[in-house]
């Protein structure tokens, strides 16, 4: 089963499962999870090929949704689910394939569509870091900077670096091989009729008006909201506003 971190104790509200995006981890969501755990129990997970979870050659959304279904069953369904970016797609496939497991769904800055861009350049940058010369994360960040990675992403990527073991806690080879699956969204005949919030950054172009017909076809009870001044990393850029919007919807 996926590696999980638990925050808080059970309350009258359903537990919340938080699913990170590509190159992320359960630890990335610690601050958000702690704030939300004041009113409910919260779990964050490492998806396969990330963090402390197992590595596999396959990384499709059917794989990810199957992993999340196992976790959800372990926690005790139905639960609320929040997913960001790749994790949002995985959460959507979970709700579409196992609607009985999901009480409410929040999708953070992603749509159920195939995107034309790729994230492969970041895998190339991480693989280019000479880990034999790294004794602290700042040294890896400096190397990433020399490779053209912006400062915010340098810090984000190195959260998945095991400095003592001189290894990435990311299965970079598998993620590179499976990138076409990660950028896509599987065809499905299912629908999820539960309450759904598509929460986006106002300056992000990941969820556009053109995506709404596809979203409403799969999630007929979807609502839409934007956080002013936030981009794709809305939870990191505007954490207070993100938590406020999330708490309002889930309550």
Catalogue the active-site residues.
85, 173, 232
Q: How many residues does the chain have?
A: 251
CA distance 193 to 190: 10
Strands 167-168, 161-162: pairing kind: antiparallel
At 18 the three-state DSSP class reads strand
Structure tokens at 251: 């309550």
CA distance 120 to 124: 6
| Cis, bond preceding 78 (omega within 30 deg of 0) | yes
- On whether the CB atoms of residues 175 and 124 are closer than 8 A, the answer is no
């Amino acid at each position: 089963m996926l590696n999980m971190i638990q925050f808080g104790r059970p309350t009258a509200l359903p537990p919340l499962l938080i699913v990170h995006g590509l190159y992320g981890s359960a630890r990335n969501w610690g601050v958000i999870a702690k704030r939300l755990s004041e009113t409910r129990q919260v779990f964050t997970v490492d998806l396969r090929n990330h963090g402390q979870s197992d590595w596999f050659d396959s990384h499709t959304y059917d794989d990810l949704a199957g992993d999340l279904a196992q976790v959800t069953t372990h926690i005790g369904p139905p639960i609320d689910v929040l997913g960001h970016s790749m994790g949002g797609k995985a959460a959507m496939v979970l709700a579409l394939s196992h609607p009985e497991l999901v009480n409410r769904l929040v999708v953070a800055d992603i749509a159920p569509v195939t995107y034309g861009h790729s994230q492969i350049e970041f895998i190339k940058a991480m693989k280019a870091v000479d880990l034999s010369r790294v004794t602290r994360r700042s040294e890896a960040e400096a190397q990433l900077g020399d490779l053209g990675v912006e400062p915010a992403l340098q810090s984000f990527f190195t959260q998945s670096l095991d400095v003592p073991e001189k290894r990435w806690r990311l299965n970079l080879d598998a993620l590179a091989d499976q990138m076409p699956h990660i950028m896509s969204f599987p065809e499905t005949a299912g629908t999820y009729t539960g309450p759904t919030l598509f929460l986006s950054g106002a300056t992000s172009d990941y969820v556009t008006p053109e995506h709404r017909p596809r979203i409403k076809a799969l999630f007929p009870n979807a609502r839409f909201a934007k956080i002013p001044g936030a981009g794709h990393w809305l939870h990191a850029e505007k954490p207070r506003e993100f938590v406020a919007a999330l708490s309002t919807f889930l309550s």
